[in-house]
Chain A
Amino acid sequence: KAGVTQTPRYLIKTRGQQVTLSCSPISGHRSVSWYQQTPGQGLQFLFEYFSETQRNKGNFPGRFSGRQFSNSRSEMNVSTLELGDSALYLCASSLGNRIFFQGTDTQYFGPGTRLTVL
């Protein structure tokens, strides 16, 4: 099976611009989660989408948004970019289905998109 793919791998933007990142999950996976990784804050959860609905959300401002399509592919959008948004953005996919007392399934990560804001 092909792994999680993310495009683009590298992106350079200037302050005030907006950006869209894309994530294609492993075939059969219906849940997609997004994380931001920075040297200062480490890895932080942004949000999770399952069946085209946001199911979980981290503590990020409204400039960060996302969506999921019917084929489970997900996009993340950041508007009005700030210098502090420079980071590695990681996407992870999982089956997303929960059954009794196995309420969590394992997430598999993509290679990330390195965003640099100038």
Chain B
Amino acid sequence: GIQVEQSPPDLILQEGANSTLRCNFSDSVNNLQWFHQNPWGQLINLFYIPSGTKQNGRLSATTVATERYSLLYISSSQTTDSGVYFCAVDGNRDDKIIFGKGTRLHILP
């Protein structure tokens, strides 16, 4: 099945810094989604981005489908950005989306 690799696994930044999170996938996809899991475990939908670029406030994402990767940019990080960021893609024309292991982001005040 399709493999989803996220990097880095952990990232520690000072408040105000910018960050780039990467998601590589092993096969062509029709769906790619980014999620934020906050420290309470809640999952928050960020982007549906099978290709192209989207922006939402301080967050933006770019997927280059032909090269099988996606990037999530966080600018001017705030402590509330802390948590785990997951990338998920569709797998083999079935119903489920497949999650990567996530990048754990710590923003220090």
Do the two shown chains form a genuine complex with each other? Answer: no
